[in-house]
Structure 1
Amino acid sequence: MRLVIANCSVDYTGRLTAHLPLATRVLMLKADGSLLVHSDGGSYKPLNWMSPPCVVETSEPTEDQASAGVTALWTVTHQKTGDALVVRLHEVHSDTSHELGIDPGLTKDGVESHLQALLADQIELLGDGHELWRREYMTPIGPVDILARDAAGATVAVEIKRRGGIDGVEQLTRYLELMNRDPRIAPVSGVFAAQEIAPQARTLAEDRGIRCLVLDYDQMKGIESKRPTLF
């Protein structure tokens, strides 16, 4: 990876046009050929960029460009679309290259599969007397995360999300409509379980008779949580 800190202006041409006036920015050239232009703000999102497959060409400025302070030009052209990102370098403050090697990738903790496994092991979080029936219960439109029985022996379908939104409630609603047509398991009630549940999703779920359960992942892992438990 090559990191350049320089005073530069940037122009994007192609399917759209965009201009970044002269300012100090970070230019990130990656081994895959991509170029990202960053400022000291905006979190992780670059101001502009060109994704691979692309070609980077360096050229000398014209006489007029040189008189305006341009010392070099980078032209990054997308090989499929023909879009171009032109960087006009003025003063370069830093130019370093680093060999990062192969990245092993991101390992996420607290993904839905982890939550499903923990809730299956701690099925009593659904309420006293609940018992696990099975995980990944297949329906004609996809698998229900957990199927359980309550203290009275009735079927309970649980849909698990990290962040519970309206889409998750709609998904569980479709599962319940199908499952309640099956006399072998009907009647089936629903539980929408997530680490966070949006207020709109909670309102929709409760309006449809679906119970909401907020999962404390740290507590479920046996780590004392600093966040109060909500239900």
Structure 2
Amino acid sequence: MRLVIAECSVDYMGRLTAHLPMAPRLILMKGDGSVSVHADDRAYKPLNWMSPPCTLRESTDPDTGNQVWTVTHNKSGEKLVLHIASVWQDSSHELGADPGLQKDGVEAHLQELLAEHIATLGPGYTLIRREYPTAIGPVDILCRDAEGHVVAVEIKRRGEIDGVEQLTRYLELLNRDPALHPVRGVFAAQEIKPQARVLAGDRGIDCVTLDYEELRGIEPDTPRLF
């Protein structure tokens, strides 16, 4: 990974055009080839970026003497052009293979408890397995409903749009397998944001609100299915 803090302007040229005037920014170049430009706000969201596959070419503007970095998407031909007035820091770091996201204790325990009490999702549900492997990662729980149809369950402590998107990708992949098709989805969380609930409904995914204490047996087991 290469991290550059520089005073730069940025122009995006493609289906849309966008311009960022000269200002200090962080330029992040990852090992996957992606390039993103960040300000000191907006949390993790970049001001502009180019997704891989893309190619970076460095040159010099003959009129200003500034460095010019041109990032070209290898398929679409769209460009991200950075004019660098000055570089304050330029460092590269080898991060190696990432071990992946580890679920926190509550989220992992929710998965374990729901697998043990799969009928929480509805009468007649049966467990196929936890952590069902796919080419893009494991599905938290794969089970069957009372009619024998396969159901993929994604479990989060806090249910947001990203979780729905993740489950959508799993469903697209699982439904290509004739041995499993049709597969429907259930998005289960202790709290589900309204935007995530709307997106799930639009994609035919059911939402289940889970109560951790109820699943542990402290109170009657009554999650709500919407």
TM-score by length of structure 2 reads 0.59
The equivalent of 1:34 in structure 2 is 34
Distance 2:15 2:125 in 1: 54
| Deviation at residue 47 of structure 1 after TM alignment | 0.6
Higher radius of gyration, 1 or 2: 1
* Contact 2:124/2:146 (<8 A) preserved: no
CA 1:22–1:110 in 2, change beyond 3 Å: closer, same or farther? same
How big is each residue's C-alpha offset from its partner over 1:29-62, in whole Å with a ceiling of 9 and x where there is no partner?
A: 1122211101101111111111111110000112
Q: Deviations over 1:189-217 (max 9, x none)?
A: xxx9641156797xxxxxxxxxx764127
Q: What pairs up with 1:137-152 in 2 under 5 angstroms?
A: 137-138=144-145, 142-143=149-150
Cα drift, residue 118 of structure 1: 0.4
Q: Are residues 197 and 16 of structure 1, via their aligned partners in 2, closer, same or farther at CA, if it must alter by over 3 Å?
A: closer
- Please give the alpha-carbon distance, in whole angstroms, between the structure 1 residues aligned to 2:100 and 2:35: 20
Deviation at 1:132, TM superposition (A): 8.8
Query: Deviation at 1:134?
Result: 3.1
Distance in 2 between the 1:81 and 1:4 partners? Answer: 26
8 Å contact kept, 1:9–1:22: yes
Q: Give the corresponding residue for 1:15.
A: 15
The 2-side partners of 1:46 and 1:57 are apart by: 21
Q: Sequence identity, in percent?
A: 50
Partner Cα distance (1:90, 1:116) in 2: 51
Q: Is the Cα contact below 8 Å between 1:112 and 1:160 reproduced in 2?
A: no
Aligned-residue offset at 1:161: 5.1
User: What is aligned with 2:170?
Assistant: none
Amino acid aligned to 1:143:
V
User: In angstroms, what is the RMSD of aligned CA positions?
Assistant: 4.3
Aligned to 1:57, the other structure's residue is in SS state strand
Change (3 A) 1:214 1:53: closer
Distance 1:40 1:5 in 2: 11
Q: Which residue of 2 aligns with 1:58?
A: 58
Q: Distance in 2 between matches of 1:80 and 1:141?
A: 43
Gaps of 5+ in 2: 128-142, 165-186, 198-207, 218-222
Residue deviations 1:134-171 (CA, integer Å, cap 9, x gap): 332246684358xxxxxxxxxxxxx8853399x9xxxx
Q: Which amino acid letter does the alignment assign opposite residue 53 of structure 1? A: P
- Alignment partner, residue 131 of structure 2: none
Is the CA contact 1:193–1:215 (under 8 Å) kept in the aligned structure 2?
no
Rounded Cα–Cα distance in structure 1 between residues aligned with 2:106 and 2:151: 16
The amino acid of 2:79's aligned partner reads A
Structure 2 CA distance for partners of 1:7 and 1:115, relative to 1, 3 Å: same
Listed as ranges, the gaps of 5+ residues in structure 1 are 146-158, 168-191, 202-211, 223-229
Alignment partners' CA distance in 2, 1:80 and 1:199? 36
Q: Is the 8 A contact 2:118 2:126 kept in 1?
A: no
